[in-house]
Chain A
């Protein structure tokens, strides 16, 4: 529920600290100087696993990235602590350093050469005494907006539209259909009767027309960047119109049955009461609020007046 707020908060932090990346993506090759000053106070940590902070970084193109971490000294103020880097949980060789205390802070910096193969989770870890404090940098290609975990239902002979949207302009949009483990490229120009693809900058739409049962399956839209392609999967299920028709017919049958029953019950009930003496005179007990009048004939005209 709150997770969209947390990740957007993180992205705001990224935007503040890593504006360099986005300018760098247009002019590949330059080395940005990046600082991630994240104050951490060990005294605050009540968590036994140690303090940790997660930062998400979206990378569009291969760059040389410098990550730096800062940790505020605890009251103990050890003159030096051990710091090292991890990638995807595994310690990077030769990255272990002794970090000296500078102005009440411990600083750790390292430069990484990032391309499509080595995206992942980079962490800088401080070992203060026994405790571990770490900052995680999630380096990824941009992620698509929206999630489609439920299949899109469509009917035979109908059409269905799938949309993909992403934050940063990709080089190209490509659609695939998953065929077992393989992916088939969808070419809208060779098959215009069946497919229609519309690209609108950050968004794309694929329309499948004249659906058949074998059009069911997983469709993948991919936004191509220099570094990697970002994908989103959507499942399409094509069903025949018989499926919703069954509950519909069941409900209509129930309605007809109930109506017949009610009308029949009413007619049967009124036939029974027809056998009893007709009561088109106002019953005397209606006059219980008003003064009683024993004479039936008089009672009728009085009641008429009293009913006003």
Chain B
């Protein structure tokens, strides 16, 4: 991904190992701001709904479409973002995305009808966000290796912290400048994405010098290993640039054929189907069982704050030496426990019982969000992380869009919220089951292979293998 940028600039950027610090923390700060400007702003758009309803004389469902459109477009166009990040450079992709989204918001401030808002706010801003989101996250993965989970935890906490700060700020802007002025100023705030883009200094990693050969994933060694059989090519640009680009894009998406990645993708679809439902239906459920409105709102605040805590602490935790090997297991456990929490909902009928639910659910939600890029990079490697993340977030889009209405339909037909929360719980648990099955199968195969190898290898091969073992602990 980044070698293309280096070639494009014609400079020879020195190849370095992942710095795990230094400019990497600026990248984390940049990614944090990107998450604030994209995810948090998306959530704050719902604050404008009342104003839109009054001004355009429409009801709630007409305005709710805007939020769905932004969310959906951001996720659906994530592959586009990663594609541009690969072709041109992450920096250019993010700057372009920032430009597009701020133009979208500025144009929305001149809206004359709700349909105009669908296009300018829903589509244009959504595409802009999509161009920023994936490249920025992928960039963090290049700069960090030892402390990858912590870096991602800090970067992803932007959505929680951003919502916390932006929500009152947006409210204040609407009071002082009405929704038009507020959208205009929000467009200015979002243009800070260009600053984040400027921070994303391209880096050329030592792993990527061998760009000519196909990445061979040695599945027997577990995740995180990319065996490069070909020797390094110290590359002068080949004559046929177009052909090379085609080859590159095929290579970029080769991971799609990996069975590991396919199973991961299936688990992500289940995950996305289940994870958004409690956020949407916790407050209505709480009101339904008799919790008073301000306590129900407090539940959501707890959820949001603990989400941030979960992001950072779980990321830090999983980076510790003793847990690094078991990263995938930690991720699986976090998702599984989150699903389990949802299954207990029918028993929680008072505010005091719902608070632990909020705390646990929020913590594990923050936990898995920070680990998604880490788990993905463990499977596909750092070079393909950008493209892989594009596909991963693309797979999130349709379930995000469809699951709240399906949940609503379940509530309407059954009359209670139990079915919805059960759906969410089972989806999350199935997601963790898929991953644990794959991990289990792989583990059994590894043990089998090692048993076989230890029976009939000579000492030379053994030392070769053991010398490579430490690298697996990445």
Contact = CB atoms under 8 A, between A and B. Distances in A.
Interface of A: 1, 5, 150, 152-155, 158, 160-161, 163, 239, 241, 243-245, 247-252, 255, 258-259, 262-263, 266, 270, 278-280, 282-283, 286, 289-291, 301, 303-308
Interface stretch (B12-20, B118-126, B277-285): B12-20
Nearest to B225: A308
Contacts of B178: 152-155
23 contacts: A1-B294, A150-B175, A153-B175, A158-B180, A161-B57, A245-B184, A247-B188, A248-B106, A248-B184, A251-B189, A251-B191, A259-B194, A259-B197, A262-B198, A280-B14, A301-B231, A303-B206, A305-B468, A306-B468, A307-B228, A308-B225, A308-B228, A308-B468
Interface in B449-464: none
Q: How large is the interface on B (under 10, 10 to 19, 20 to 34, 35 or more residues)?
A: 35 or more
Interface in B71-125: 95, 106
A279 B198 CA distance: 24
Given A163-B54, A248-B184, A286-B17, A308 B175 contact: no
A275 to B, nearest CB: 13
Interface string B1-23: 00000000001101111000000
A279 B14 CA distance: 6
Chain B interface, >50% SS class: helix
B212 interface: no
Contact of A307 (B187, B192, B471): B471
Most buried by B among A150, A241, A244, A301: A244
Given A150-B175, A282-B15, A255 B185 contact: no
Nearest to A285: B17
Nearest to A303: B206
B467 A290 contact: yes
Contacts of A262: 195, 198-199
Nearest to A159: B55
B226 A243 contact: no
Contact of B12 (A247, A278, A283): A278
Given A245-B184, A280-B15, A306 B467 contact: yes
B195 A155 contact: no
B181 A244 contact: yes
Contact of A259 (B55, B198, B294): B198
Contacts of A286: 17, 206
A296 B188 CA distance: 52
Q: 10 tightest CB-CB pairs across the interface, nearest first?
A: A244-B181, A251-B188, A153-B178, A262-B198, A248-B188, A244-B177, A259-B198, A258-B195, A308-B227, A279-B14
Given A150-B175, A155-B180, A251 B185 contact: yes
Contacts of A248: 106, 184-185, 187-188
B198 A263 contact: yes
Contacts of A251: 185, 188-189, 191-192
Given A244-B177, A255-B188, 12 more contacts: A153-B175, A155-B181, A241-B180, A241-B181, A243-B181, A244-B180, A249-B188, A259-B95, A259-B198, A262-B199, A282-B15, A303-B206
B12 A308 contact: no
B12 A258 contact: no
B55 A161 contact: yes
